[in-house]
Structure 1
Amino acid sequence: MTSTYYVAWWNVENLFDEENSPRRSEKLARVLGKSIVGWTAALRDRKIDQLASVISRMNAGAGPDLLGICEVENEVVVGRLAGVVNARLPQRNYQVVHADTADERGIDIAFLFDPALLSAPVGERFQHVVMRRTATREIVQVNFRTHRGRTWAVFGNHWPSRSGGQAESAGYRAIAGETLAYFHQRVWEVHGEHTPALVMGDFNDEPFDESLVRHALSTRQPAKVVRADIPRLWNLMWPIVGAGEGTFYFDNFTNVLDQFLINRNMVSDTSTILAVTDSVEIVRFPGMASTGTYASPLPFGGMGKAVNPDGFSDHFPIAVKVHEAD
């Protein structure tokens, strides 16, 4: 019997620990400065409740089987989020893979997964450094084992921001794309060319930008992925770009910064782990978007911005279904 996994990704917008957290280094406290002032434990927990209310509604109220998140400060806040979602979904018992990255703002990448369906062997968790002059998030790779015993390489990404200008910062995202392409190829070399790989993340670039097309070796054409003699990726977000939708809004323009990409082993009907490519969606439940002409994500705020306790994040989540054969 085919298993179907509901996979989601969400940039949860500055999910930081409380202002005076003993888990924060003095260096990070200095970097955050006044932006963390007033971020109380109550606000942190309210934000977690808001995020959990969305996550628990995904997958027709069953919650995702695998969820990648970014902009989390530490494993404690991720664990709190998993605990609140578990309380809302008693049938779930989400476990966490958290990567304490070297980002200068202290924001990390993590995965929540259902251990009844997937396992994350300790020796199959990797952090790939993206080299630049200032510290930035690593690419996080987990070679999950499905409950049917197959290896499934999953990459979580949060590429360098456009701070300072899109063109001025483009080189940093090019380096991130090269890093991703290199370690995708390493999956083939270590685990074999038939290993399925799923890439998800906030790339701070769109599917048509050079960082993804030229450096990460992604394309909108599945035939180029299937027939290539090098590891290429099919970017599943092109239909959403064409529809004029977005996961992030800037100056009331839509941007598709959050994306899913797959390698050739998740493309064909003979794939043992197959992405249902027409299932890709932007997750927008009632109340998650602002009212008015531009239905942008409703942020929670904080970190120097006004707090809206009824908000969620400045990004919408995205989701895709994946089939695994017997």
Structure 2
Amino acid sequence: MDDYDVAWWNVENLFDEENSPRRSERLARVIKDDITGWTPRLRDLKIERLASVIAQMKDGAGPDLLGVCEVENLFVLERLAAAVHHRLPGRRYAIVHADTGDARGIDVAFLYDPALFEVPDGQVFFHVVMRRNATREIVQVNFRTRRGRTWAVFGNHWPSRSGGAAESAGYRHIAGETLSYFHQRTLEEHGPDTPVLAMGDFNDEPFDTSLVVHALSTRQRRRVLEADTPRLWNLMWPQMGVPDGTFYFNNEPNLLDQFIVNAPMARPRSPLRVHPESVRILRFPGTFSTGAYPAPVPFGGMGKKVNESGFSDHFPITLKVTESD
């Protein structure tokens, strides 16, 4: 039997340095005002701050699989993986990443332990979310576990609420439809018992239309297990009853970062199954403010004031998964 610790984190604008030779001319024009003053020192300091949190996950061993968003390129991901490895010599992460069509150049990626998972050739997919314009793709990786099982994992960073939650909702509705479609396609291609995990910053709450109506997610495990159409079980609903969220806006907690699984992961005796009670919002000492509203302490940058003692404007989330024959 193998136990896996899975985590997700929106790492808040992890960009390369201001004059990076790894940045396209188009992107440099788009972000030129915001990136001003973002030195290699600040970039590397932010990476160290993030690595200090990642290294505390799984009781100080680091997660087995980590999904991240708001990263600019492979270079910063490699530096992040190296920074974690420096703190945890037993952790040497491999990376799944590709540049997407996002207007700000921020991507979704995975860091994973290659001793536990491999990525077979041709099993990484970038699903375009298109309404009037492209945004971050939904990244699907069909991992192969060391027990030889296919595990489809979807990394999500849905369109933001910029311009207003209602005004921008249609974009997230399309993202929900895209996730639901490729969930079903995965089961058709790999078999109805294929375990699927979707995780990410959905920029909506578990009760919003994009997740409930379009992504076909629900708070009820039984409904997922008995459904004729493939549905998803949103594991974050119990967190709705606590006073804290994963992201704060005007001192109001929002539960935007979520884990969602399908029926083959929801069954208590499935070969690869989730432990719903293990879901946590990770609030390590020093990563949240100490006032009346314990929000994440952001690092800033990209046009915002830099706090060199900060980390990210989102908290990470984690859960445990068990695989057995």
**Which TM-score bucket, shorter chain as reference?**
over 0.9
Q: How does 1:172-187 map to 2 (within 5 A)?
A: 172-187=171-186
Paired residues of 2:196 and 2:265 also in contact (CA < 8 A):
yes
Report the identity percentage: 69
Please say if 1:166 is aligned against 2:165.
Answer: yes
Q: In 2, distance between residues paired with 1:312 and 1:110?
A: 18
Unaligned 5+ residue runs, structure 1? none
2:243 is the alignment partner of 1:244: yes
1:121 Cα deviation after fit:
1.6
The alignment's TM-score, normalised by the length of structure 1, stands at 0.99
Structure 1 Cα separation of the partners of residues 324 and 61 of structure 2: 21
Letter in 2 for 1:258: D
Deviation per CA, 1:206-260: give whole Å up to 9, x if none: 0000000000000000011000111100000001012232000001111000000
Deviation at 1:99, TM superposition (A): 2.4
1:11 and 1:71 in contact (8 A); partners too: yes
Alignment partners' CA distance in 1, 2:198 and 2:147: 21
Q: Which amino acid aligns with 1:128?
A: H
Q: Give the corresponding residue for 1:37.
A: 36
What is the CA deviation profile of residues 136-180 of structure 1, one whole-angstrom value per residue up to 9, with x for unaligned ones?
A: 100000000001100000000000000011000000000000000
Q: Which runs of 5+ in 2 are unaligned?
A: none
Q: Does 1:198 align with 2:218?
A: no
- How far apart are residue 132 of structure 1 and its match? 2.1
User: How many residues in Structure 1 have an aligned counterpart in Structure 2?
Assistant: 325
The amino acid across from 1:191 in the alignment is: H
Structure 1 distance, partners of 2:49, 2:189, is 40
- What residue is the counterpart of 2:18 in the other structure? 19
Aligned to 1:226: 225
Q: Shift of residue 261 of structure 1? A: 0.2
Map Cα deviations across residues 186-213 of structure 1 (whole Å, 9 max, x no partner): 0110000000000000000000000000
Q: Cα offset for 1:104?
A: 0.6
Is the 1:104–1:134 Cα contact (8 Å) retained in structure 2? Answer: no
Residue 33 of structure 1: CA displacement? 2.2
**SS in structure 2 opposite 1:294?**
coil
For 1:1-326, list aligned pairs within 5 A.
Answer: 2-326=1-325
Give the aligned residue type for 1:145.
R
Once the two structures are superposed, what CA deviation does each residue of 1:250-303 show, in whole Å capped at 9, x if it has no partner? 011110000000000011122111100000000111000011000000000000
Is the 1:235–1:259 Cα contact (8 Å) retained in structure 2?
yes
Question: Counterparts of 1:46 and 1:247 in 2: how far apart (Å)?
Answer: 23
CA-atom RMSD, angstroms?
A: 0.7
- Mapped to 2, the partners of 1:310 and 1:243 lie a distance apart of 27
**Structure 1: 4+ residue segments shifted above 3 A:** none
